[in-house]
Amino acid sequence: MSIRVILFLTILISTLSCSNDDAVCTPPAGTISAETIAQQKLPPATVAIKGSEHANFIGSWSLVNGNGGSFANAKQSETTFTGTPGQAYTLRWSLSGCNLFYKDIEVTIGCPTLQANAGVDQQNTLTTYTLNGNVQEGATGMWTIVSGTGGQFANATNHNTNFTGTAGTTYTLRWTLTNACGQTQFDEVIVSIVLPQTKFRISKVITPEFDVEIAYVYKNGKLDKEVRKFSGQTIETSFEYSPTGQLVKILHPQVTVIYTYLNEVVEKSETFLTNGSLLFTTTFTYTNNMITSSITDYVDAQPDIKSTYTYGTSSELLLVKNEQLNNPSIFTTFTRSYYTETALVKRPYTEFGPKLPENFSNLLIKSYDYVDTSNPNTNNSIQYTYEFDQLGRVSKLIAKYPLKPENNYTEILVYEIAN
């Protein structure tokens, strides 16, 4: 190559470099802007953004600060950015041409408004229910028990998990949604596990303190025999009924009781000794089909007894007063207090008897006291209280003698399903 050619190339290259170095880069016309804009029906955790456009410059979006975000199209001036709820991001709109110009904006991804729904209230005899809480994107859920005992969830974080409870219990269950911003919202559902239409009857009563066991034998749905065992002895009592199902006779080894009815209630009961002689007669007086008084007339020289019955506003028996007709100052009383909202549970013997006073209440006896006012210093004053099982049945009767605690005893009730 000649010296002239080499010199020409050197001069040409030098001229192009200088042209680039000496060029004036004009900024984009107008103000460079980047902003969020309103847009309907955006996906969750998404914001709409817009950068300004300028002639001779190419724009693009980039993420300067923050994790887990992405642009729908980073090369478009108007696009969307999706991030993680609760996170803050710095987004940059850059204009590239003869030089680089940019504008940053700060964006915080908000959390969706929570709307928890625990489903509709449920009531059934089933002990296991499938729940139906709602699912919301960007939120987690949790089931908890607000009220009710003995229940559990198969998976408390599953919106439609199974819940298992105890028969006869009503539960309030809460479904709580929590989003990434730490916000919560809950809804509650009531689940009632009602008792199935199963009828129970007492099959056995046990008194551990005295080694007494009473068994009840049924026939055709009615009490047929009561078998009492204690101290190596067995006493059997049998029951007889009329064709219409009314109890008309109780046969005990020592006495026989015969009931006479009038208009479906007991008008009179007669108690006979085994030799056939009459021991006493009891006649009953009623008002509105509820017994108000009775008189027990003894054949021998024993004082006759008058009993009066006092009821509460809900027809619950509150007081029975037994007084001697020849000396009303000598009397005994039974007083009772009650639970509400459930059926009366009677002591085993009167459970199967005729329509005597204990059968007229629709409330559940909580406790009752027996007081012998003829002699306050005797051990005849007794306080009875009850314990109940999870089905609401009396499971134990507790008898306490305030003046003679060594006589205290309990009766444990055992149930069977009635035919």
Long-range pairs of 3-7 with CB within 8 A, sequence gap ≥ 24: none
Rg (CA), the chain: 44
pLDDT value at 299 more than 60 = yes
Can you give the pLDDT at residue 97? 74
CA pair distance 231, 246, nearest whole angstrom: 33
Which of 193, 227, 245 marks a domain boundary? 193
| Least confident segment among 27-31, 53-57, 365-369 | 365-369
Together in a domain, 326 and 226: yes
Residue-number span of the structural domain to which 162 is assigned: 122-193
Can you give the pLDDT at residue 7? 30
Residue 83 lies in a domain: yes
| Least confident segment among 34-38, 96-100, 263-267 | 96-100
Together in a domain, 93 and 239: no
The domain that holds 129 is classified in CATH as 2.60.40.10
Residue 377 lies in a domain: yes
CA pair distance 276, 254, nearest whole angstrom: 11
CA pair distance 310, 312, nearest whole angstrom: 7
Residue 17 lies in a domain: no
Residue 349 lies in a domain: yes
Tens-digit pLDDT profile for residues 216-241: 888 887 888 889 999 889 999 998 98
Can you give the pLDDT at residue 334? 63
pLDDT value at 60 more than 70 = yes
Together in a domain, 361 and 409: yes
Tens-digit pLDDT profile for residues 301-344: 777 889 888 887 767 677 788 888 877 776 677 665 554 433 33
pLDDT value at 374 more than 60 = no
Together in a domain, 145 and 240: no
Which of 59, 86, 108 marks a domain boundary? 108
Residue 394 lies in a domain: yes
Together in a domain, 250 and 335: yes
Residues in contact with 334: Cβ distance below 8 Å, sequence separation at least 6, in sequence order: 319, 320, 368, 369, 370
**For residues 190-195, average pLDDT:** 84
Together in a domain, 247 and 204: yes
Tens-digit pLDDT profile for residues 123-148: 887 888 899 999 988 789 999 999 99
Q: Do 7 and 47 form a contact (C-beta atoms < 8 A)? A: no
Residue 11 pLDDT grade (very low, low, confident, very high; cuts 50, 70, 90): very low
Higher local confidence (pLDDT), 158 or 357? 158
**For residues 356-379, average pLDDT:** 49
Q: 4, exposed or middle or buried, with CB in 10 Å at 0-12, 13-18, 19+?
A: exposed
Can you give the pLDDT at residue 30? 82
pLDDT value at 396 more than 80 = yes
The domain that holds 101 is classified in CATH as 2.60.40
| Least confident segment among 22-31, 52-61, 320-329 | 22-31
Q: Is the pTM of this model over 0.85?
A: no
Residue 416 pLDDT grade (very low, low, confident, very high; cuts 50, 70, 90): confident
Together in a domain, 357 and 321: yes
Which of 108, 137, 162 marks a domain boundary? 108
Can you give the pLDDT at residue 198? 65
Residue 73 lies in a domain: yes
Together in a domain, 350 and 209: yes
pLDDT value at 91 more than 70 = yes
Together in a domain, 67 and 158: no
For the chain, give the mean pLDDT. 79
Q: Which two tokens stand for residue 8?
A: 């020409």
Together in a domain, 337 and 412: yes
Together in a domain, 250 and 313: yes
How far, in Å, are 214, 301, 331, 371, 397 from residue 375 at the CA level? 31, 21, 10, 9, 25
pLDDT value at 362 more than 70 = no
Higher local confidence (pLDDT), 278 or 167? 278
Can you give the pLDDT at residue 190? 92
Together in a domain, 395 and 247: yes
Number of domains in the chain: 3
- From the list 238, 242, 198, 244, the residue with the least C-alpha distance to 218 is 238
